[in-house]
Structure 1
Amino acid sequence: MKIKNWLVLCASLVVGVLAAVGLHTYNTYSAQSAPDQITVGSQGSDYDVWQHIAASPQAKKLNLKITVKQISDGVQLNNATSENNVNVNAFQSYSYMQAYNKENPQHKLAVIGTTYLEPLGIYSDKYDSLKQIPTGATIALANNPANTARDLLLLQDAGLIKLKKNFGLLGNTNDIVENPRGLKFKEIDDTTGPRVLNSVDAVLISNTVALEGKLNVLHDSLYHEKINQSTRQNINILATAAGNQKKKVYQKLLKLYHEPVIQKYVKNQYHGTKIEVKKPISYLK
């Protein structure tokens, strides 16, 4: 081969290699510059968790750009999700979502996957054990249907009352069939639990609200939920508008939540009160 032809061939090869490298670099850059964008709606301590997740290296590694929106009212947050103003929400239990769906049949939500059980607790500033709660004591309960039912189920589990056999998701105090201590019930906004501790004998407080009131359900409650079959519907979930739950990007978000590094942060930050649950959706039903 003549030197001139050889030089032309070499030059062509170099141009080809550089073009290939440039194309690869462009494709890689393009993929990285167009991450999957998701708006996550949340509230309370969950809002703080998702802000951490959104800024984490793990989210970047999965090519997710997460915007976290805070909506403090659960019904409004579910409405925003069903209307696709929020892609995914992270704040509620499976039973809360079921109750919402029952009351909003035209705007149903669906489960993407499980996240954790955040135990509901019975708290008191006046007594140190359930045995000390006297006859005629006043117990404060959440005033929204899903949480009222959950509160009553915990009181039953604690042996304080008995509910009718077909007690449902929207059950209330009218469904109590045995109340041996003659307990009285006061409905409150479930975000105010810690603030009414000194005005009632006991109050049932969700862990999200308890944490905001500097209470640790594992140490400060008289009694709290455990992970078992009776509490499986109280497991928290990621939810989205019905029909969207199998989207790959939302499944990627679920995977991100369960990353070991993320779970280590959640455990340390919330002192073990958000107990990870990684179960199939069928477990909830």
Structure 2
Amino acid sequence: MKKSKILVGIGILAVVALGVWTFWGHAQTQKDEITLGTIGSDAKIWNYIAKQPATKRAHLKVQVKSFTDGVALNTATAQGKIDVNAFQSDAYLQAYNHKNPRNQLSIIGTTYLEPLGIYSTKYKKLGQIPDGSTIAIADNPANTARGLKLLAKVGLITLKPNFSDLSGLNGIQSNPHQFKFQEIDDTTGPRVIKDQKVAAALISNTIALEGHLNVLKDSLAHEQVNQSTKANINVLATAQTASKQQRQKYQKLLQIYHSKPVQKYIRHEFDGTKIEVQKPVSYLRK
């Protein structure tokens, strides 16, 4: 009788232990899931990361969702519908936060810098662009300012002393070549340069790649990686309300992004146009 009671007791304990283990394991799986939002060709990178052995070892399960609109993706992230996103520069994020005080984002870390380029299908050198020509430029604040800075850097315009990362066309001080500026949706750049009315366009590298353009080979001029372009470094972002535990999980994902196998894949897949930047968030604020 005693023996049977002991056996029954052991059986009950085993069932309880199994239940606790199953519950704990399920909780772990739920806790380690990350939904990441991105735009365009960057989805390739994060789908590659999702399948990496290092991702499995870190007990992370990454689901990648592609968006076509940056504001919609940022809003979904700020509202917790997307855990993290990876598509935007620091300047773009700051511009979004400035316009959306109720849906704020914060930065987990830096990923890469993609040089912005000036492209044309009509001219092979900047000096060939006639005075009075139309130049297409992005219609969102961060990329408008970024494009104008590049035009100033190559000597086509000058900017006002108080020009900032959120300044628009009214931040131009002098326009000696009397260029006209056509504000466009970022994603239309590769098509716009084929328009007979447009002499050149400023196109971000993610969009340029989708249009089969390589910023290092096909642009008339492009940004250099230095202190002056740090606002253009891309970041991994999450909701400002994300918990410490969530942020630790996202940091693991960022570490995998910067691993050697992943960086080797990115260099090969994108012809070296996504230049790795592994800096602390404080670097962006210096």
* TM-score normalised by structure 2 residue count: 0.87
Whichever residue aligns with residue 166 of structure 1, its letter is N
Structure 2 equivalent of residue 254 of structure 1: 254
- Picking from 105, 126, 137, the partner of 2:122 is 126
CA distance in 1, matches of 2:59, 2:165: 38
CA distance in 2, matches of 1:183, 1:265: 40
- Number of aligned residue pairs: give it: 263
Please report how far the alpha carbon of residue 71 of structure 1 lies from its aligned counterpart in structure 2 after TM superposition: 1.4
Q: Mark the CA change 1:80 to 1:31 in structure 2 (over 3 Å): closer, same or farther.
A: closer
Structure 1 equivalent of residue 264 of structure 2: 264
Structure 2 equivalent of residue 208 of structure 1: 206
Structure 2 equivalent of residue 277 of structure 1: 277
- Picking from 91, 110, 114, the partner of 1:114 is 110
Structure 2 equivalent of residue 244 of structure 1: 242
Deviates more, 1:265-274 or 1:244-253: 244-253
Whichever residue aligns with residue 219 of structure 2, its letter is S
Structure 1 equivalent of residue 4 of structure 2: none
Whichever residue aligns with residue 268 of structure 1, its letter is H
CA deviations over 1:157-182 (Å, ceiling 9, x no partner):
11111111111232111111111111
For structure 2, the 5+ residue unaligned runs are: 1-13
For structure 1, the 5+ residue unaligned runs are: 1-18
Does residue 135 of the first structure (1) align with residue 148 of the second (2)? Answer: no
Please report how far the alpha carbon of residue 30 of structure 1 lies from its aligned counterpart in structure 2 after TM superposition: 4.2
Please report how far the alpha carbon of residue 33 of structure 1 lies from its aligned counterpart in structure 2 after TM superposition: 7.1
Structure 1 equivalent of residue 3 of structure 2: none
Does residue 80 of the first structure (1) align with residue 80 of the second (2)? Answer: no
Whichever residue aligns with residue 119 of structure 1, its letter is P
CA distance in 2, matches of 1:166, 1:132: 30
CA distance in 1, matches of 2:35, 2:110: 18
SS in 2 for 1:192: helix
Deviates more, 1:216-225 or 1:151-160: 151-160
Structure 2 equivalent of residue 50 of structure 1: 46
Q: Which runs of structure 2 are paired with 1:44-193 in the superposition (5 Å)?
A: 44-193=40-189
CA distance in 1, matches of 2:27, 2:92: 37
Aligned residues of 1:47 and 1:68 also touching (Cα < 8 A): yes
CA distance in 1, matches of 2:28, 2:160: 57
SS in 1 for 2:187: coil
Whichever residue aligns with residue 267 of structure 1, its letter is R
CA distance in 2, matches of 1:126, 1:79: 38
CA deviations over 1:68-90 (Å, ceiling 9, x no partner):
11111000000000000000000
- Picking from 228, 231, 240, the partner of 2:229 is 231
Deviates more, 1:30-39 or 1:150-159: 30-39
CA distance in 1, matches of 2:148, 2:243: 30
Structure 2 equivalent of residue 16 of structure 1: none
Aligned residues of 1:37 and 1:64 also touching (Cα < 8 A): yes
CA distance in 1, matches of 2:222, 2:241: 34
* TM-score normalised by structure 1 residue count: 0.87
SS in 1 for 2:186: coil
Deviates more, 1:168-177 or 1:81-90: 168-177
CA distance in 2, matches of 1:123, 1:245: 42
CA deviations over 1:52-98 (Å, ceiling 9, x no partner):
11122221121110011111100000000000000000000000000
